[in-house]
Structure 1
Amino acid sequence: MKKLSIAIMTTALMGISALSSEIKKPECIAPAKPGGGFDLTCRVVQTGLKDQFSRLMKVTFMPGGIGAVAINQFNTTRTDDPNAIVAFSSGSLLNLATGKYGKWTENDVKFLATAGADFGAVVVKSNSKYKTLDQLMNDLKKDPTSIIIGAGGSVGSQDWMKGALLFKSIKKDPRKMRYVAYDGGGDAIAGLLGGSIQVYMGDIGEMTSHLDSGNMRILAVLSKKKLPEPFSKYPTAIEQGYDVEWTILRGYYMGKNVSTKAYNAWVKAFENAYKTPEFKKIQEEKGLIPLNMAGEELDKSVKERIVKLREIAKETGLIK
């Protein structure tokens, strides 16, 4: 047991040493104003990796185009910066897939690591006639325009995409969806409770506090597998027979010309952090479910996701 403990400690120290030697001024870029999801993503790494730096990681806010300003800078003046990582989300990946970042694509950055994940959810009022996802989907099959769906995002956003995937799973045109766009999740929930919409395409993490009130019901979670407690009681859409999955991924990328040595030092730092109870605690505090990937594994996963998003965007007329 003593030898094992020494081995683990030695491995951790080697990772810390490699990171410290490569990264002198650690910085996380949040491509938005303070207080949002990108801010949250940077705070996770700021706290989660604090023991691996000689100084506290700096968080810099860089709003503009939901990530467009940041990706432009890291493809012009900071392509090889070893100190800086940039927060991204599934919304960022959708923007890449639909060309909203101009000429920059998924091949113009190095995807580094994840902070954690949230998952889409199909939500109705607790007194809704829909007790199961099957009941909802059967009505959509009969008449796709009979149900009003809403979310905190415009047509083409990742919240809209959740609904589009539901329609695709029953071979219905997503463009037939009666969709109401709200300024945010809070407004959309108010719309659901007020009766303006019948179904809310939300996220499981944001629903936790609302479900305690008993005003809403989750018909399905859009994850590949059952989620851990306290979400294990909610069935997935897949296990109910509908091939719909939407992971709200939060993570980090670096400039495409960063040295392999610096990139690998960051990867190792995240891999070390993922093994600690402290990092898991931070994820829980920030409402994230552990989905820990770094390096090549994440890069492959992200690029596969973007290909799928691009296909969906073409099928639904978002891009040509």
Structure 2
Amino acid sequence: MRGSSLGMRLRWNVHVLPVVVPLTVLMAFMAVFVTTPALAEGYPSRPITVVAPAGPGSGWDLTARTVSQVLTETRLVPVAMPVENRAGGGGAVALSHVVQNRKGDPNTLIVFSPPLILIHLNKQTPFSYRDLTPLARLFNDYQIIGVRSDSRYKSLDELMAVLRQNPKGLVVGGASAPGSMDHLSFMMAAQQSGVDVRNVLYISFPGGSELNAALLGGSIDIVSTSVGDILGYIEAGSVRALAVTSPERLTDPRLSNVPTLKELGINATFEVWRGIFGPPGMPEEARTYMSNALAKMVQTPEWKEMLRRFNWHPGYLPGDQFKAYLDGQEKLMGNLLKEMGLLK
């Protein structure tokens, strides 16, 4: 009825307007009453694409699909949220796409984690988190340092003792590039243990399955990887977890006996945060809407079940606090990369 009466008033106004009023003025007058309310009340009206900066099955892909699923199933977002995979460059390809091709787009989101900072520090891309619109940090994941179950090394201290004497005496493996998460999480612990991290041997593998095969096959001595990527091997008894990078012991029964770095005298933690961003210049209406939806999402039973299922740990921060957190992380990681001699 409101639409019908508005149409009647508009028709009546058109009828009594003097014929000397230019058509462009009339169209502008109508736009004030018709177009503006439709925009204000209509978001979102089209599908919102969630960009994952890696292929299907990756951590970014899982994050994107989980966020999409929970937001749509709970009707916090009433439109489809398809996931678009844009792999390459450790996230640089997807970042460049969103920054350069989706500026101001209210219907594009992108998920990211620490490589967003690292690929900029490493000069793989001129773009950084400052070129995006931070909406929320969603959760944290942590890293495991482990060895094969039949390894002669029973503790992290034994490993570090060897590396202090001979930094090239053991080989570390991870599923991320040199200077990225798996590499940095181990080197941070090694640095705090007095190891010359510039000379520690690190081999990067394309994925978790290749990494774990290398550990079990004896190609590497130490594995540094995310909890999710190694948990099945720990549960099966083929990998011995020596430390976790979380601030406190994890509550999962399969990991409750794994000490934290701090318990072992290493004053360090390493968070693999996961967050969601909008493109640069995201319209304020869209930014507010999505920020509010994400704030509500993290309180839902559906989201909490996903955290439990994937061993993710609550770590929600709203946009402004997330930005401040990223500023601190950039400084922390930059200092570590400099000490490792990895900054170009």
Give the TM-score of the pair, scaled to structure 1: 0.86
The aligned residue for residue 49 of structure 2 is 27
Which residue is equivalent to 2:24?
none
Partner of 1:105: 128
Residue 175 of structure 1, CA deviation:
1.7
1:43 corresponds to which letter in structure 2? R
What do you get for the CA RMSD once the two structures are aligned?
Answer: 2.1
Equivalents in 2 of 1:272, 1:251: separation in Å?
A: 15
**Which residue of 46, 71, 86 corresponds with 2:68?**
46
Shift in Å at residue 214 of structure 1? Answer: 0.9
Residues 229-288 of structure 1: CA distance to partner in whole angstroms, max 9, x if unpaired? Answer: 333332111221112322222221112311333222212111111111111112333443
Work out whether 1:236 is the aligned partner of 2:236: no
Displacement of 1:21 in angstroms is 4.6
Q: Deviations over 1:43-79 (max 9, x none)?
A: 1111111111222212222233232233223323322
Q: In the alignment, which residue of structure 2 is the partner of 1:4? A: none
1:193 and 1:82 mapped to 2: Cα distance? 47
2:180 counterpart residue number: 157
Give per-residue Cα distances to partners, 1:113-163, cap 9 Å, x unaligned.
234332111101222222222222222223222222222233223211122
CA contact (8 A) 1:44 1:115 kept: no
Among 58, 61, 68, the residue aligned to 1:36:
58
| Residue aligning to 1:201 | 224
* CA distance 1:294–1:44, change in 2 (3 Å): farther
Give 1:278's aligned residue.
Answer: 302
Pick the structure with greater CA Rg: 2
Aligned to 1:59: 83
2:66 and 2:120 mapped to 1: Cα distance? Answer: 24
Look up the match of 2:145: 122
Separation (CA, whole Å) in 2 of partners of 1:253 and 1:223: 24
Q: Is it true that 1:267 corresponds to 2:288 in the alignment?
A: no
The AA in structure 2 aligned to 1:191 is A
**Residue correspondence of structure 1 range 305-320 to structure 2 within 5 A:** 305-320=329-344
Change (3 A) 1:174 1:20: farther
Letter in 1 for 2:194: K
- Provide the rounded CA distance (Å) in 2 between the counterparts of 1:187 and 1:142: 29
Q: Where does residue 11 of structure 1 map in the other structure?
A: none
Count the aligned residue pairs: 301
2:165 alignment partner, one of 129, 132, 142: 142
Gaps of 5+ in 2: 1-39
State the partner residue of 1:95.
119
AA aligned opposite 1:144: P
Seq. identity, %? 29
Secondary structure of the corresponding residue to residue 314 of structure 2: coil
The Cα of 1:183 is off from its aligned counterpart by 2.5
Whether 1:251 aligns to 2:271 is no
- Could you say what secondary structure the match of 2:140 adopts? strand
Superposition deviation, residue 173 in structure 1: 2.5
Distance 2:257 2:270 in 1: 18
Give the deviation of 1:217 after TM superposition: 1.0
- Give the SS at the match of 1:47: helix
In 1, the alpha carbon distance for the partners of 2:305 and 2:108 equals 24
AA aligned to 2:341 is G
Residue 137 of structure 2 contacts residue 319 of structure 2 at CA under 8 Å; is this kept in 1? no
CA distance in 1, matches of 2:224, 2:311: 18
- Assess if the C-alpha contact under 8 Å between 2:77 and 2:293 holds in 1: no
The verdict on how the C-alpha distance between 1:283 and 1:21 changes in structure 2, with shifts beyond 3 A counting, is farther
Q: Separation in 2 of the partners of 1:277 and 1:80? A: 32
C-alpha separation in 2, matches of 1:304 and 1:284:
28
Return the alpha-carbon distance in structure 2 between the equivalents of residues 31 and 277 of structure 1: 27
The code of the aligned residue for 2:180 comes to S
SS of corresponding position for 2:335: helix
Q: Distance in 2 between matches of 1:286 and 1:170?
A: 31
Post-superposition shift, 1:205? Answer: 1.8
Q: Which deviates the most, 280-289 or 198-207?
A: 280-289
